[in-house]
C-alpha cells in the first residue's frame, strides 16, 4: 500500500478524484476511504466514460478513444459502489453515467480568462488566418478539416496553421493572431479549446449536437460544423470579415 495513500488518510478529509483514477490500483482505496467516512467525489473527463454504443445513438460522427466498453462500464459501476457524487463537464458526458450515481453535477470546462488576451478579429483583414490545434488528430476530425482547407485554397486567399507539439504559452500567442479557430468535428460538445478561443474573442468552429444546443446559453457564439459541413462553414467565415468580428465580440 502506497505511503502517500497512508499519509493522505491521516491528512485529508475530502478526496477529489479525476478521470476515473484513484490513489490505488483497481480502486482498492475506495472501500477503505468509505469505511472511515472520508468524503469522495469523482470527476470524469471524457474518454474515461465515453462509449460508442451510447454516443452513436444521437451522433453519427462520434469517435471514441477507448474501445473496451465492458471495461468502462465495470469501472464506472465499481466507483458507484463507493462514491455517490460525480462531476462531468457537459450533458454529452452525463449520458454515459446516468443511473449509476445518486448525484451528478455538471461543471462546465473552466479557464482563468485573465490568462487570455482579448484579440477580436479585425474588420479590415482581407487574408484571414485559420488555426487548428488538435490534441488528437483522429479524435478531432483533422483529416476532414485538412480536406476542406485544401479545397478552399483553390478559390480563396487565407493562411492556415496546424498547431502541434508546442507548449501551451507559445500556442496561446499563436491563437491570438487567429481570425478563425477550428476545435473538433466529432464529439457533439465543446471542450476547453473552444472556451480558450471564446475568451480571446475568436470565432470558433466545433461540432455541437442539435439535441444538446438547448443545454447551452442561447447566445453561445460557437459555430457548429461536422465533416459534411466544415467546408461551407469555413467558406462563409473566410468571405466575411464583419461576421468574424461580430462573432468574436460575443
pLDDT tens by residue, 189-240: 999 999 999 999 999 999 999 999 999 999 999 999 999 999 999 999 999 9
User: Which residues are CB-neighbours of 22 under 8 A, at least 6 positions away?
Assistant: 15, 29, 30
Q: What is the DSSP secondary-structure string of 191-237?
A: -HHHHHHHHTT--EE--B-GGGGGGS-TT---B---TTTHHHHHHHH
Report the pLDDT averaged over residues 47-60: 96
Give CA–CA dist 38/32, Å, rounded: 9
Q: What is the mean pLDDT of the chain?
A: 96
pLDDT of residue 2: 85
pLDDT tens by residue, 16-28: 999 999 999 999 9
On whether the pTM is more than 0.75, the answer is: yes
Burial (Cβ within 10 Å: 0-12, 13-18, ≥19) of residue 243: middle
> Which residues make beta-bridge pairs with 16?
41
pLDDT tens by residue, 87-125: 999 999 999 999 999 999 999 999 999 999 999 999 999
Report the residue count for the chain: 250
User: Is the distance from CB of 38 to CB of 14 less than 8 angstroms?
Assistant: yes
113-249: which CATH topology? Rossmann fold (3.40.50)
- List every span in the chain annotated with CATH 3.40.50.2000: 113-249
User: Is the distance from CB of 180 to CB of 200 less than 8 angstroms?
Assistant: no
Amino acid at each position: 500500500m502506497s505511503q502517500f495513500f497512508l499519509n493522505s488518510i491521516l491528512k485529508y478529509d475530502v478526496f477529489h478524484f479525476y478521470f476515473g483514477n484513484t490513489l490505488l490500483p483497481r480502486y482498492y482505496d475506495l472501500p477503505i476511504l468509505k469505511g472511515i467516512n472520508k468524503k469522495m467525489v469523482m470527476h470524469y473527463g471524457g474518454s474515461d466514460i465515453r462509449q460508442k454504443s451510447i454516443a452513436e445513438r444521437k451522433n453519427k460522427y462520434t469517435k471514441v478513444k477507448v474501445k473496451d466498453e465492458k471495461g468502462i462500464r465495470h469501472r464506472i459501476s465499481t466507483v458507484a459502489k463507493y462514491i455517490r457524487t460525480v462531476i462531468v463537464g457537459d450533458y454529452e458526458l452525463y449520458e454515459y453515467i446516468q443511473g449509476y450515481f445518486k448525484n451528478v453535477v455538471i461543471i462546465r470546462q473552466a479557464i482563468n480568462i485573465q490568462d487570455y488576451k482579448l484579440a477580436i478579429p479585425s474588420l479590415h483583414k482581407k487574408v484571414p488566418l485559420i488555426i487548428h490545434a488538435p490534441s488528437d488528430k483522429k479524435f478531432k476530425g483533422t483529416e476532414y478539416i485538412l480536406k476542406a482547407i485544401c479545397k478552399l485554397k483553390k478559390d480563396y486567399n487565407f493562411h492556415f496553421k496546424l498547431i502541434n507539439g508546442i507548449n501551451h504559452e507559445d500556442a496561446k500567442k499563436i491563437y491570438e493572431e487567429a481570425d478563425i479557430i477550428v476545435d473538433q468535428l466529432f464529439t457533439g460538445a465543446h471542450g476547453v479549446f473552444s472556451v480558450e478561443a471564446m475568451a480571446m474573442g475568436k470565432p470558433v468552429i466545433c461540432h455541437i449536437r442539435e439535441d444538446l444546443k438547448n443545454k447551452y446559453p442561447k447566445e453561445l457564439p460557437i459555430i457548429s460544423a461536422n465533416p459534411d459541413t466544415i467546408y461551407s462553414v469555413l467558406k462563409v467565415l473566410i468571405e466575411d470579415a464583419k461576421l468574424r468580428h461580430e462573432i468574436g465580440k460575443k
